[in-house]
Structure 1
């Protein structure tokens, strides 16, 4: 398996990226939404194998204080092959120099990110568009 990595948005097929998130499974993210959020992110990374998108992720950063790593997705057929490691290592390295690097994980995947030094925050809070769904999926604590 040879994966080619790129940070450019020039050749991204936004429908293919949307499909990757559905398959990962990280939810239904429209191509238009993904184009906006990746376009507004300081750092991003895409992995292709034989021209097929197999990995993607991004970091929304301000250049000094905070970098937020998010939307990390690996095609299920390619999980367990080190692509997640390569993707996170790249985004963390790009984010170095920020006062803090933050991410939130799919419930149950916290151990993967702990290998990169991420620790649970005691004060993190969030407002989700669908609070009940986020609670049911394990992203928000039960009140």
Structure 2
């Protein structure tokens, strides 16, 4: 088996929702609002995907295979990149997929940009492992539909 990475591959909202559920990000994403998920996908500046494929499919450039990872980011390509979603199927975690999605996202957005993300509490220990530094002064205004 191999992982095939793609940049800018079009994703259906149902594919993304399915992966969010398999990655535990569904707990913090509007997976019950497919229209909003479609907007999230269509308005992203950078979308990097990881598909699990049979070795023979890699050699023959067949269909992409099972979606096992997505990185979705918004960037100005000059100063900052917000990595909004980093989702890896729980069955495929621990194989370097997240690290590679981050690397490719930053590369596409521009290595001069500051890559920024908000971590889920359960993932806080992961990000230093892949070379990210903590920042203690993040501020936000929650969306109006969160009360």
Question: After TM superposition, is the score higher than 0.5?
Answer: yes
Aligned-pair Cα RMSD in Å = 1.9
Q: In structure 2, which of residues 102, 105, 112 is the aligned counterpart of residue 97 of structure 1? A: 112
1:118 Cα deviation from its structure 2 partner: 2.4
1:32 aligns with 2:46: no
Q: Give the helix-richer structure, 1 or 2.
A: 2
Paired positions, count: 129
Query: What TM-score do the two structures reach when normalised by structure 2?
Result: 0.76
Query: Structure 2 CA distance, aligned partners of 1:49 and 1:58?
Result: 18
CA offsets 1:34-79 (integer angstroms, 9 cap, x no match): 3322222221111112321111111100121211012111111111
The equivalent residue for 2:3 is 3
Correspondences of 1:76-95 after superposition (within 5 Å): 76-95=90-109
Q: SS of 2:25's equivalent?
A: coil
Instruction: Report the Cα offset of residue 124 of structure 1.
Output: 0.8
| TM-score, structure 1 as length reference | 0.78
Deviation at 1:128, TM superposition (A): 2.0
After TM superposition, the runs of 4+ consecutive aligned structure 1 residues lying more than 6 A away are none
Give yes or no for contact 1:9–1:39 (8 Å, CA) kept in 2.
Answer: no
Runs of 5+ unmatched residues, structure 2:
54-64
